Copies of this chain bind each other. A is one copy, B any other.
Amino acid sequence: MKIGELAEISGFSTKTLRFYESIGLMPAANREANGYRSYQDDSLRRLAFISNAQSAGLSLKEIGEILAIRSSGVTPCEHVYQLLLAHRESIEAKIAELEDLQSELASLISYAESFSPESCDDGQVCSILSRKPNSVKFAKFQH
């Protein structure tokens, strides 16, 4: 199978497939006499795995590590499990962060809605965004 077919079937672009090879995520493909890459079904299986792992939110680097463990003959189960736990943690943290941001935004928005532009203070850029002092150091510069 040539790279175009593999791309077609796998859903990865030919660019991406070459890129994956270049970063070692895919092994160097066998070449035909004319220099074209030649793939077997195992490439497709590997790409299926990459695709699965990506949709679990793993980075290419992490996926590469799993693949490396696997090809060293060890089952990567424990490593994968630890990765998943770590990801759950970091996603949890990101969600919390975004929710904080969301409530900050909500408060700014409701302030903006109760706000008349006429009351803008010329001494600052934006009364809506400058409502809260965000550091002691800045305090005296935010009236």
Residues of A84-143 at the interface with B, using a CB-CB cut-off of 8 Å, are: 84-85, 87-88, 91-92, 94-95, 98-99, 101-102, 104-106, 108-109, 112-113, 115, 117, 120, 123-130, 132, 134-135, 137-138, 141-142
CB-defined contacts of A141 to chain B, threshold 8 Å? 41, 44-45, 48
B91 A101 Cβ-Cβ under 8 A: yes
The 8 Å CB contact of A56, one of B46, B91, B99, B105, is B105
Number of copies: 2
- The answer to the question of A28 belonging to the interface, with a C-beta cut-off of 8 Å to chain B, is no
Residue-wise interface mask of A (49-60) relative to B, using a CB-CB cutoff of 8 A (1 in contact, 0 not)? 101110111100
CB-defined contacts of A78 to chain B, threshold 8 Å? 117
Interface class of chain A by DSSP? helix
Number of residues of chain A lying within 8 A (CB) of chain B = 63
- The answer to the question of A10 belonging to the interface, with a C-beta cut-off of 8 Å to chain B, is yes
Given contacts A94-B98, A102-B92, A135-B11, contact A56 B108 (CB under 8 A): yes
- The answer to the question of A29 belonging to the interface, with a C-beta cut-off of 8 Å to chain B, is no
Q: How far is the CB of A89 from chain B (nearest CB, A)?
A: 10
Nearest neighbor of A135 in chain B, beta-carbon distance: B11
Residues of A within 8 A of B (CB): 9-11, 41, 44-49, 51-53, 55-58, 66-67, 70, 75-78, 80-81, 84-85, 87-88, 91-92, 94-95, 98-99, 101-102, 104-106, 108-109, 112-113, 115, 117, 120, 123-130, 132, 134-135, 137-138, 141-142
